[in-house]
Structure 1
């Protein structure tokens, strides 16, 4: 029999930035629990508003299926004595299964006659299982810090207020988060501040929407907000900028969204747009509006949680709130510009970067030297890179950044331009923080790239050098993100640099570090290993990455080129056979006492046709692929070597390598070593063979 199930957890206002994550997790955990109990169902829907998490499951089994239980006991010769009487082993088997010895049967399990007891286990009612499933789902929610309320020891992300749990029209009796379950939910805090009786799970969503003045679906509410905000932007002749993070947060703040447009004085537009946007977004949760050229317009869009009889009053109230915020931004900007960036450097001596690594001022001095060295390596202006690095953190002690922390770098760029610094230097100050997150843009210029690399490498080497590398989920200095940023800049900006060299220069800038011995090797291994997750996202197998990393390389751009080439090679029909052949060769050579004693191939000693053919082809292929290796055209080189599959297969089919004739054996080993050497120029493709 199939039914519908509803669970709703009513609470005080849930954290808006976490609402979607909480809802997704709750639904997933309930789904997992239902599936684990073998309760089949048709569909599952999640609902989430600021005051509730809910799940509706349609077409769920009312009980778990019956199960046939088969319990095997000891063999007949152990279960009965010579006179055919039950032994203690048989009696113990019967007692274990709660039956009489007379109820035990003998059957052959395919090997011998054994005692067996067959029974049927009745299914469990869904109403008995669902409360525990829900409680387990709540216990597993990703809540960093749970809170208690009143005198209760119960903990949750926010104080609970009511619980609804129903199977069709029936209330499932239980107690969760200190509340007895029922069929009573609540409407909008202002438009429907009353209780609502849920007739059945299928009626839940429509009841809230039509009677409770609530849009219970997070996705539907988010789409409504997007549509409304877009329309409001068009009304004032602009384009509303709708970031996903802000959209999700606003969706988590309202139950009945109503978008309204307000305005502010055009004089505020003299301030850097980023400061105004930061103020509107971070403090007020407003969407900003731009013209078709991307310039900020003097309008904002707020999403109200009520349908007002006088929306003009709501708009006016929001305009009164935002005006002082924007006035602060104007004041900070004008005040900051009165002081040159370089005069702020002295204040950085009082700002600690890390207790064992000195102040922010100390860090900028290190980054200056490293950025200049990197700029020289990548063909950029070393003086510009050094100057940008020197000024890179000066805005951290400005009023603007102290008030709007996300303006760091951006404020510095504007202040540098106002001070008459070269535009490339100013832009590099802004670009030092790029990329900020996965998929973010990279520094535009080589100067910006040099500063961004130097800043990250200084941090990574320093933190590793004082013995505080990331462990598990703990990464207080965001070294994983910094590492991926370094790799992305080098690879995507096509910078031909050696990471080992850069790390050595970074360590030199730090001087003596407590964990300095072997530091470069440790950090290099850590950073190269970050490539693994990168390639997983590109659906490149771990075997491909391992085949390249086995080379022990330290140039990220070169590593990436090789990985892409090996990945392409691995898709060829010949790849697995050649990988297996390389594995076989590797195993043969590994058994030698000293592989280095094997010399060059002596063509006069070639006897069999298969080895002659292979030797000729290896020699000719070497002449073709060597220039390709020099030009890093690894993909073309491996594709060319794929032709060797058939002659390699023929060699192993027809030729015995480990013969008694020492000269002949060593010559064949030399041929195999030469063959493997061709592939090793790119990667150890023997590692493409899956481990058994």
Structure 2
């Protein structure tokens, strides 16, 4: 039975970057575990620890020794190892010497290529403790640290100055030196509550001792859950609640080792300011949790998590309230100042902001969005006048004091200002909706005006940037064109809009007038959007071949694309699908090699084989029966009907030589096959299913 012991490692540092803590902890644990696996050291459950001042891990049931390894070295072929008299050759003796033995002690192994000399030995496993320093060093060296720093007089570099290393295997210290620090069985507690060293006698004692004696909750998840509880309890104590922002919770968890919740408040008058600005300040700048009432209205309280259990919590509360007050005061001032001008009055200021050198100012972009947005609104049953005005005003909040100070308020400030200006509710909503979606999973525009200008804005950016030859390459996408195209796709899908994408691209291109220098812009933008669309469907689990089969026929609208995808998906599950996909691929290959013009109509009088007549009759019958299905875009019905062509198609290829010597017969047969594939192309190029 393998002897095991628990392994504990902890690196103590200065405060680690909070946004990188989770990534550093996971990377270190993964690399350490990989090192054990590569050394063939068995182990059990792995736990990782991460606080602002420490990275660590606990590995249960780690083998004390590597297992012994049976090693087989292969030497020369037997026929090359001995001469005609059976004496060992230089090759055999050299191999034996390299193994530290004699030729007569060597074994033999047989393979498909013959018999070979071989030497088997057992290599004794090393003690795990002797390998751990190299494993830990490698794990630290491979951490994703973009910029390392030096400290003191040392040349050692790490993300932050390192102060101690705790390293145990069972009750024994693992001897090592990392980052110019020697390992021990000592750690340190909380910077203020217990700055003294703490001796850890066994890995099992680590968490409990550190928490009870050192006032440190070392487990990130445990600390995170504790903060969640504290925030919820604190909010309930003032009859409020906090919708937990997981990203903020992670960041706060990475900032404290011993969380304590403090409830703070601010003056009621600040609630006159757009709540998003207050929430943004609390979350982004101060790492506070905003509190809401049961009607989801922001109230004049916040919860902050302190890293110290103070005897005078009022002092901490006062300090946090004092810090937030000037920021709220600034936001209130900006809000009041911005109210002195309407959005419309700010239009001329947009002429001073460059969108892109060749594509003009933000004012010019807004004008293009206004025109295209009105056109889209008309096509989706919206108010063209409203869309036109919304497009024009959509960027006016960029020159407000509020957005200048709080960049994340763009769009939101536009909505508030539009309401203050007396604009309609739909136009006000559109001021924010033009930016949606901002990221994957974000909400989407709901009003027709918002939908129209959100699509117009993204199409304007795509056609403009592609039009001047600045299309994205590799990982570089400075104008966020990938996000723009995905936004278009998600808006169209969400609202099942039957807008013709190529036509929209053409309309957007015309609005750029003489700025466009790339003559292939329409094709390139359409292809770019189509590639993103294909990616969306493959991410949802559809095969690449299935998605490509639909993309090959270039559906003009997104709902049409979706219908075809669903139809081909159903078809691909039919018993007949594989044969018909293969047949279509064969037909495509045959037709591609043909250089002669095919007759417009297939001539039945030229048939020489009953299989030709059978296929011709089947195709003619299907052509007639699917006409109403084509008119209703019943793609599932079309493919289900065409699936019955399997038997006559299979028989045709079994019984008929397509490439007949007689030109007229050959071209007539090719014409018949073209009719077959043309029927399937009414829905998709099913031959591509073979590439799945």
TM-score, normalisation: structure 2: 0.92
Distance 1:660 1:19, change over 3 A: same
- Report if aligned partners of 2:200, 2:209 keep a CA contact under 8 Å in 1: yes
- In 1, Cα distance between the equivalents of 2:171 and 2:517? 66
Alignment of 1:10-25 (within 5 A): 10-25=12-27
Per the TM alignment, residue 441 of structure 1 is displaced from its structure 2 partner at its CA by 0.7
Segment drifting more, 601-610 vs 299-308: 601-610
Alignment of 1:210-359 (within 5 A): 210-359=212-361
Per the TM alignment, residue 667 of structure 1 is displaced from its structure 2 partner at its CA by 4.5
Distance 1:42 1:628, change over 3 A: farther
Alignment of 1:399-414 (within 5 A): 399-414=401-416
Structure 1 equivalent of residue 629 of structure 2: 628
Distance 1:541 1:125, change over 3 A: farther
Per the TM alignment, residue 663 of structure 1 is displaced from its structure 2 partner at its CA by 5.3
- Report if aligned partners of 1:464, 1:515 keep a CA contact under 8 Å in 2: no
- In 1, Cα distance between the equivalents of 2:548 and 2:139? 38
Per the TM alignment, residue 487 of structure 1 is displaced from its structure 2 partner at its CA by 1.2
Distance 1:483 1:162, change over 3 A: farther
Per the TM alignment, residue 408 of structure 1 is displaced from its structure 2 partner at its CA by 0.6
- Report if aligned partners of 1:232, 1:240 keep a CA contact under 8 Å in 2: no
- Secondary structure, counterpart of 1:597 in structure 2: coil
- In 1, Cα distance between the equivalents of 2:65 and 2:628? 70
- Secondary structure, counterpart of 2:471 in structure 1: coil
Structure 1 equivalent of residue 179 of structure 2: 177
Alignment of 1:63-74 (within 5 A): 63-74=65-76
Q: Give per-residue Cα distances to partners, 1:608-639, cap 9 Å, x unaligned.
A: 66555544443333334343344333234334
Structure 1 equivalent of residue 504 of structure 2: 502
- In 2, Cα distance between the equivalents of 1:99 and 1:154? 46
- In 2, Cα distance between the equivalents of 1:376 and 1:80? 91
Structure 2 equivalent of residue 453 of structure 1: 455
Structure 2 equivalent of residue 372 of structure 1: 374
Segment drifting more, 607-616 vs 272-281: 607-616
Structure 2 equivalent of residue 5 of structure 1: 7
Cα RMSD for the two superposed structures:
2.7
Distance 1:157 1:584, change over 3 A: same
1:641 aligns with 2:626: no
- Report if aligned partners of 2:469, 2:518 keep a CA contact under 8 Å in 1: no
Give 5+ residue unaligned stretches, structure 1. none
Q: Give per-residue Cα distances to partners, 1:250-290, cap 9 Å, x unaligned.
A: 11112222223222232222221111211211121122222
- Report if aligned partners of 2:538, 2:547 keep a CA contact under 8 Å in 1: no
- Secondary structure, counterpart of 1:470 in structure 2: coil
Per the TM alignment, residue 207 of structure 1 is displaced from its structure 2 partner at its CA by 2.1
Per the TM alignment, residue 292 of structure 1 is displaced from its structure 2 partner at its CA by 2.9
Structure 2 equivalent of residue 619 of structure 1: 620
Distance 1:612 1:181, change over 3 A: farther
Distance 1:17 1:125, change over 3 A: same
- In 2, Cα distance between the equivalents of 1:576 and 1:484? 32
Per the TM alignment, residue 168 of structure 1 is displaced from its structure 2 partner at its CA by 1.5
Q: Give per-residue Cα distances to partners, 1:409-467, cap 9 Å, x unaligned.
A: 11111112212223222211111110011111111112112211222222233333444
- In 1, Cα distance between the equivalents of 2:32 and 2:148? 20
- In 2, Cα distance between the equivalents of 1:127 and 1:277? 51
Per the TM alignment, residue 652 of structure 1 is displaced from its structure 2 partner at its CA by 4.1
- Report if aligned partners of 2:496, 2:558 keep a CA contact under 8 Å in 1: no
Of 587, 590, 606, which aligns to 2:589? 587
Alignment of 1:500-579 (within 5 A): 500-513=502-515, 516-553=518-555, 555-579=557-581
Per the TM alignment, residue 305 of structure 1 is displaced from its structure 2 partner at its CA by 1.8
Segment drifting more, 316-325 vs 643-652: 643-652
- In 2, Cα distance between the equivalents of 1:517 and 1:22? 47
Distance 1:90 1:222, change over 3 A: same
- Secondary structure, counterpart of 1:623 in structure 2: helix
Distance 1:357 1:177, change over 3 A: farther
Distance 1:514 1:447, change over 3 A: closer
- Secondary structure, counterpart of 1:17 in structure 2: helix
- Secondary structure, counterpart of 2:569 in structure 1: helix
- In 2, Cα distance between the equivalents of 1:679 and 1:33? 54
- In 2, Cα distance between the equivalents of 1:183 and 1:356? 65
- In 2, Cα distance between the equivalents of 1:615 and 1:667? 11
Structure 1 equivalent of residue 400 of structure 2: 398
- In 1, Cα distance between the equivalents of 2:34 and 2:642? 49
Per the TM alignment, residue 10 of structure 1 is displaced from its structure 2 partner at its CA by 1.8
Per the TM alignment, residue 508 of structure 1 is displaced from its structure 2 partner at its CA by 3.1
Distance 1:371 1:663, change over 3 A: same
- In 2, Cα distance between the equivalents of 1:18 and 1:631? 54
Distance 1:297 1:604, change over 3 A: farther
Structure 2 equivalent of residue 157 of structure 1: 159
- Secondary structure, counterpart of 1:239 in structure 2: coil
- Secondary structure, counterpart of 2:626 in structure 1: helix
- In 2, Cα distance between the equivalents of 1:525 and 1:146? 42
- In 2, Cα distance between the equivalents of 1:598 and 1:55? 75
Q: Give per-residue Cα distances to partners, 1:230-265, cap 9 Å, x unaligned.
A: 233233323312111111111111222222322223
Q: Give per-residue Cα distances to partners, 1:136-174, cap 9 Å, x unaligned.
A: 333333333333333434333322222222221222222
TM-score, normalisation: structure 1: 0.92
Distance 1:133 1:470, change over 3 A: farther
Q: Give per-residue Cα distances to partners, 1:554-612, cap 9 Å, x unaligned.
A: 53443333223323333444433332232233333333334x51544445566666555
- Secondary structure, counterpart of 1:586 in structure 2: helix
Per the TM alignment, residue 83 of structure 1 is displaced from its structure 2 partner at its CA by 3.5
- In 2, Cα distance between the equivalents of 1:370 and 1:92? 82
- Report if aligned partners of 1:48, 1:216 keep a CA contact under 8 Å in 2: yes
Structure 2 equivalent of residue 135 of structure 1: 137
Give 5+ residue unaligned stretches, structure 2. none
Distance 1:264 1:23, change over 3 A: same
- Report if aligned partners of 1:79, 1:90 keep a CA contact under 8 Å in 2: yes
- Secondary structure, counterpart of 1:309 in structure 2: coil
- In 1, Cα distance between the equivalents of 2:390 and 2:100? 82
- In 1, Cα distance between the equivalents of 2:162 and 2:601? 79
Q: Give per-residue Cα distances to partners, 1:4-26, cap 9 Å, x unaligned.
A: 22222222212222222222222
Distance 1:164 1:327, change over 3 A: same
